[in-house]
Amino acid sequence: MHPADENPLNAAVAARDRDAIRMVQAAVDRKEVMLAFQPVVPATNPGQPAFHEALIRVLDETQRIIPAGDFIEAIETTELGRKIDCLALELGLAELHAVPGLRLSVNMSARSIGYPQWTRVLHRGLAQDPTIGERLILEITEASAMVVPDMVAVFMRELQDQGLAFALDDFGAGFTSFRYLKDFYFDILKIDGQFIRGIAANRDNQCLTKALLGIAHHFEMFAVAESVENDRDAAYLARIGMDCLQGYHFGAPVVHPPWRQDSRDRRRA
């Protein structure tokens, strides 16, 4: 008997993961992969985004846009996960090349460090435009960074010398060894949304977020609060010194970002 079949819940989870892998593989084969863009705004001046996060999306067989949260866990440790990282980077670099002045963060797993195709995509994109390096932020999840922390540290130092910035995503979710944090030299720490949602009315989350913010600033890292969903939370976070805010309160991820609309308008003029 297969181990997943011994428990109905395990069997259901395994079946869901297999379906997710098949769906993503089919989308990759059809070249129906795209980015959605969400603004990250300064806490004290939210009208002008500091940068945008580029989030991978795929189309299923019914042409629905499927967010990464619905499939990334299933493919994270597979070859397909590496291919998705390559596509996300390729699409992000193309956007940076097409829009001078745009700054983007692109997600990757630490497992893609040293993956030959990912490395080729990066170096090809950097060679295409000398301004791209300083406008590209690579986001690595806290969980994947802890899989190969020493490799992450070396990888970051090499690319930071070329002007790239790095963000540690989902900070505080429970994986980071603080022993490694001082060696990583991330430029940005993105504080996990579980501490941010409803923070204005939650004293426990206020205490935890202040501690995480203090850690970020102690190590001279820029702090971003994820999952900001209302005015009260945004005002509280600005008051305690958060650097930037991201969440539906400032804009949902969109596959047709405003700079593309601006470009169409200029062509019509």
For residue 223, give the H/E element and its range: strand 222-225
213's tokens: 């913010």
Q: What count of other Cβ atoms lies within 10 Å of the Cβ of residue 48?
A: 8
Q: List Cβ neighbours of 158 (8 Å cut-off, separation of 6 or more).
A: none
Per-residue pLDDT of the chain (269 residues; tens, 9 = 90+): 455 456 777 777 788 889 999 999 999 999 999 999 999 999 999 999 999 999 999 999 999 999 999 999 999 999 999 999 999 999 999 999 999 999 999 999 999 998 999 999 999 999 999 899 999 999 998 888 888 888 999 999 999 988 999 999 988 876 666 777 777 889 999 999 999 999 999 999 999 999 999 999 999 999 999 999 999 999 999 999 999 999 999 999 999 999 987 655 555 55
Residue 173 is classified by DSSP as S
Q: Check if the beta carbon of residue 57 is closer than 8 Å to that of residue 82.
A: no
pTM, two decimals, is 0.91
Residue type, 269: A
Q: How far is the C-alpha of 197 from the C-alpha of 225, rounded, in Å?
A: 10
Q: How far is the C-alpha of 215 from the C-alpha of 221, rounded, in Å?
A: 8
| CATH number assigned to the domain covering 3-268 | 3.20.20.450
Q: How far is the C-alpha of 197 from the C-alpha of 201, rounded, in Å?
A: 9
Strand, coil or helix: what is 168?
Answer: strand
Q: Where are the domains of the chain?
A: 3-268
Residue 4 is classified by DSSP as G
Closest CA to 108 of 173, 49, 55: 55
Strand, coil or helix: what is 166?
Answer: strand
